[in-house]
Amino acid sequence: MKKIISLGAVLAPSLAFAAGTSQTVFGVVAIINQILAILIPVLITLAVVYFIWGVIQYTVSGDEEKKKNARGMIINGLIGLFVIIAFWGIIKVVTNTFGVTGEQLDVSQIPCIPNAQTGVTCAGQ
């Protein structure tokens, strides 16, 4: 479970930059959001299956060593579920706070300071 989460943390940014769309920070966040929309339910499913497999192993095994290993699987499955859901929640809070969706950025929620020297103009002003 730890290897899967680590792999996702390493691959997500590299996949986002390789996508070839908008290279702004909000574009990258939107691409990561799209990837996570697919990846997180898969990870949750794997963690639940791992947890249930640990429960089955704990119930079926008669040996104390096997029960200890199954207990570790149950605990790791629960920790994995917690980490995945917490990560998903943090991403949702950040994307909702800044108005980032999978397709476009809601620029009306971002403060703007016009600067004539650099050519920055604000849409609402």
pLDDT of residue 32: 76
Indicate whether 19 pLDDT > 70. no
74-81: average pLDDT: 94
How far apart, in whole angstroms, are the C-alpha atoms of residue 124 and residue 22? 23
The predicted pLDDT at position 117 comes to 72
pTM over 0.85: no
Q: What is the pLDDT of residue 73?
A: 94
Which residues are CB-contacts of 109 (< 8 A; sequence separation ≥ 6)?
98, 99
pLDDT value, residue 104: 54
What pLDDT does 109 receive? Answer: 60
